[in-house]
Structure 1
Amino acid sequence: MDADEDLPEALAGAVAEFARHLAAERNRSEHTVRAYTGDVASLMTHLTRLGRTEVGQLDLAALRSWLAGQSTRGRSRATLARRASAARVFTAWAHRTGLLGEDVGSVLATPKARRTLPEVLRAGEAATLMDAAADDASDGDPVNLRDHALLELLYATGIRVGELVGLDVDDLDEGRRVVRVLGKGSKERTVPYGVPAAEALDAWLRTGRPALSTPAAGPALFVGVRGRRLDQRTARTVVHRRLRAVSGAPDLGPHGLRHTAATHLLEGGADLRSVQELLGHASLGTTQIYTHVSVERLRKAYQQAHPRA
């Protein structure tokens, strides 16, 4: 919310019911529920400032003035696009449940977000990162074994950090070298990984995990130093810390390794549809950004190397 003022009971109740709808019926992630609920609460606050106390009083003009106000406060295009999306989901839900006489958000335009190309590691930088982690793991220290396996699996599969820490031991099929991943919207996919990741995982499971794990870890594949399931913050810290030791490498987190995996797959000849499936993207358009990354890298290499560039 952009304001601390309390919402009228009817509006506050609608926000709460909408949050339950997102979580229970649409199976959205906790992060999405929190973001969309905050956006809709902001919209309801705006409606209150207009002197309206019921969802049924929401109209297209109010939606547009709300977004315009967000823009004047300096919200980014990406934020405005997400808030417009949240508003459309809300008005569609409110119309279906009878809170709105018509779906006034269906014609709300989405501000186009400027798409920046993600930073990725070069192949040599990725190799240096993995080699350094392997060297550290050779001492048999459980944390070093875990970090090596974590880095190899992130780079090999391109899975999200939330997907990584949610993995259980049984999600690995070591014989086929694939991992079962539960992605956004509880959609399950199977992602292959290579020999280096398999070897790192084997060492972690044989030696590292038994040394760190406690009953509180349950079936978790990756475990923290306190013996519980590894959390996302620790996983991010591992990636940032390890990358700082790679000369010239950008400061990337786990999502940077995801971008790197996708880019290297495409540069190696993988087709776009296969990469889309591996990454768990709902839209091919989301995956296509990595073709732009590859073209941009090629353009820079050309400019540096060609005498007529």
Structure 2
Amino acid sequence: MVTRARSVRKVNTVAATTSAPPTRASTPPARRRGRSPYPGWFYLPAAIVYGLLFLIPTLLSLYFSMTRWTIFTSEFTGFDNFVQFFSEPALTKGFVNTFVYAAITSGAKVVLGLALGMLLTSQIVGRGFLRAVVFFPVLVSSVGVGITFQVLMNPSKGAVNAALGVIGIDGPGWLTDPSLALFSVAMVDVWKGVGLATLIYMAGIVSIPKEYYEAAKVDGAGSWTLFRDVVFPLSWPATSTVVTLSLIGGLRSFDLIWAMTKGGPGFTSDVIASVIYKQYQAGFYGLSTAGNVILFVAVIAVVLPLTRLLARKEVEL
């Protein structure tokens, strides 16, 4: 009887073992399917357009900047065009003016944009109308603005000097004085572009949660403390956006300067873009192409480190 009982238990054990579902360890690992290249084909049209409109022209510009070329012929000259660009005082003046112009316009847009952004997000009368007035110059053509202010800043017949003469001030030659021409154009650029900076700051200020204001007021914070500890730090993304856009626009500026002064008087208000255009007009195609490369490198050299610095500062705040 004992032997039979052991036999029955052994049979039951074997049956239970064979009938149990296989465990995860006993199942063979499933084959991993290879990643399909199908989604990558959607990048192809954009890559083709990017290559045709950016990569190929950039490489060709780099090559032609090292040549003396016309429409039908080209002669390789190495870095002679770059040496000539930085050896002629007029061309070097345009290079320096570019950075001065970009620094003035971007700095003024940040300060005025932040001040107007705070004003136009406060509870003031006619806030909607003032917003439209501030933003309107952004919509106007740069050439139209340049021609208009060229007339307004005329030293003898302009409305600006006429208004100053009413209060007994002899107005200067805003666009004819070599020491004022570049700064006069820069101020017009600020007037035209501060509306966009104001709009960006308004969006940044409005997005700040009201709890921060309430907590600061409970702690007895005044207007300056509220601005320093709440508004300015929390609107830093708007500041970094305005600085980046303003610098890029300032370094690439051409249309407003050309409409108002054409780089004059002399070369005092020239920037890289106007120098490039003048060299094209004179038939120095290789030298002007070298100026394009220099402008491209200057923009990259300024914007990339600045963008990383602003992003790092944003994370710290």
Q: TM-score, normalised by structure 2?
A: 0.25
Task: Select the structure of larger CA radius of gyration.
Answer: 2
Q: TM-score, normalised by structure 1?
A: 0.25
Relative to its length, the structure with more helix (as a share) is 2
Question: Which structure would you say has the larger RCO, counting Cα contacts within 8 Å and 6 or more residues apart?
Answer: 2
